[in-house]
Amino acid sequence: MSHPKHADTSHDILDVIRERWSPRAFDPARDVPTGDLKRVFEAARWAPSSFNEQPWRFVVAARTRAATAFASLLETLDTFNREWAQHAPVLALVAARLTISRTGRPNQTAWYDAGQAVGFLTLQATSVGLAIRQMEGFDRAGAVRVCEIPPEFEPVVAMAIGYAGEPDLLDSDKHRAAERRPRLRQPISDFVFNGRWGDPF
Amino acid sequence: MSHPKHADTSHDILDVIRERWSPRAFDPARDVPTGDLKRVFEAARWAPSSFNEQPWRFVVAARTRAATAFASLLETLDTFNREWAQHAPVLALVAARLTISRTGRPNQTAWYDAGQAVGFLTLQATSVGLAIRQMEGFDRAGAVRVCEIPPEFEPVVAMAIGYAGEPDLLDSDKHRAAERRPRLRQPISDFVFNGRWGDPF
């Protein structure tokens, strides 16, 4: 039987895309090998970016190998994220360089390019059995401080990385239910247009 | 022998990530089947986004099936992109909704989330033999006009989609040379930090 989180697709897509999802429950007993994390970030490395600027940066804190950094980063998360993210084996902060290194001018695609890099690393994570949940709910000024982010960079999202665990590991009824609910998306006809806005592809 | 554009990786990654690259030369004789384009956009559909907002939209113009839209979109590209992109079989505009549908408040991760969706669709494209080159160099006001983009949305990037062709198809010496040059990236140690900024992972 298919996993409830595997996408109910209208067109055939790569397994890593179909099977990727964002858990809150992480197996507390499984640590993530550094070698697998390196593969995950190697995937981000090869993402495209405007003028090959590669504006993405990652500050990674594994609970067992960088306990102080993990605790500090956890502290920056909003309460509703901290509740479940405290049990993930790895937390990371994604940052983006807002200026183009060569010219110092604003890089309007910095966040967009960081998104592509995280897209790549998320699919690589799926392929090695890992799962990632990204979080927008965190204290940005706090993250700048604890991760020592230089002024030309900006925090983008935080993320938890680990192996998906049983929904019953979660304290919140709402979170447990979300963990078992199928993933829902708008149909292609709502977001892909043929030639001009609104004409379904 | 390996293709010169296949990534020289330090850690093992998915073939679709290793082999993806952004050509300027597209095979002018090969049209892209609509079914394959649907698989590409289906991949975007399943990307994660903040609060599942799915802020990404795509206006697609296949040269043979939406000739007027193709010509109009081509016209919005900067000259240095128009030169090669005119031979691609498909052009598309990526747009993002800047507000959260449910609340009307600004969505700070709109561009970032659009980037992830394009990351997913790009890898799906690679898996069906397609290649994509994204372009930041285009007339944004022009794109709003020709694609009839509503005010709550913003153009993000344009892209060319097709089958990579021979470098000699390109007019520019510089572009032909770029097509044969290996892809270069900063090492992981330059962008992934352990616990705090600057400490290599």
Nearest of B90, B76, B167, B152 to residue B121 by alpha carbon: B90
Q: Does A101 touch chain B (CB under 8 A)?
A: no
Yes or no, beta carbons of B10 and A60 under 8 Å apart: no
Phi and psi at B91, nearest 5°, equal: -115, 150
Mean pLDDT of B62-71: 96
Q: Which CATH class is domain B22-182?
A: alpha beta
User: The tokens 């298919």 sit on which residue?
Assistant: A2
Yes or no, beta carbons of A10 and B42 under 8 Å apart: yes
Shortest Cα–Cα distance, A56 to chain B (Å): 7
Nearest of A143, A28, A27, A25 to residue A78 by alpha carbon: A143
Yes or no, beta carbons of A120 and B119 under 8 Å apart: yes
User: What 3-state DSSP class applies to A8?
Assistant: coil
CB within 8 Å of chain A, chain B residues 137-166 = 146-150, 156-157
| Residues of chain A contacting residue B119, judged by C-beta atoms under 8 Å apart | 47, 115-120, 123
Q: What is the CB-side half-sphere exposure of residue B173 using CA atoms within 13 A?
A: 0
Instruction: Could you list the beta-strand ranges (E) of chain B.
Output: 56-62, 90-97, 131-135, 153-162, 192-194
Q: Which CATH class is domain A15-183?
A: alpha beta
Per-residue pLDDT of B156-198, as tens digits, reads: 999 999 999 999 999 999 999 999 999 999 999 999 999 999 9
- Which of B32, B81, B194, B199 is the best mutation test for A, with the most CBs of A within 10 A? B194
Cα A123 to chain centroid distance, Å, stands at 10
Q: Does A93 touch chain B (CB under 8 A)?
A: no
Q: Does B100 touch chain A (CB under 8 A)?
A: no
pLDDT in tens, chain A (201 residues): 579 999 999 999 999 999 999 999 999 889 999 999 999 999 999 999 999 999 999 999 999 999 999 999 999 999 999 999 999 999 999 999 999 999 999 999 999 999 999 999 999 999 999 999 999 999 999 999 999 999 999 999 999 999 999 999 999 999 999 999 999 999 999 999 999 999 988
Contact B13, B120 (CB under 8 A): no
Size of interface A-B (CB pairs under 8 A): 242
Amino acid at A93: L
What order do you get walking across the sheet with A192-194 strand by strand?
A: A192-194, B56-62, B90-97, B153-162, B131-135
Contact A19, A8 (CB under 8 A): no
Helix (H) or strand (E) holding B84: helix B79-85
| Minimum-distance CB partner of B112 among A38, A111, A196 | A111
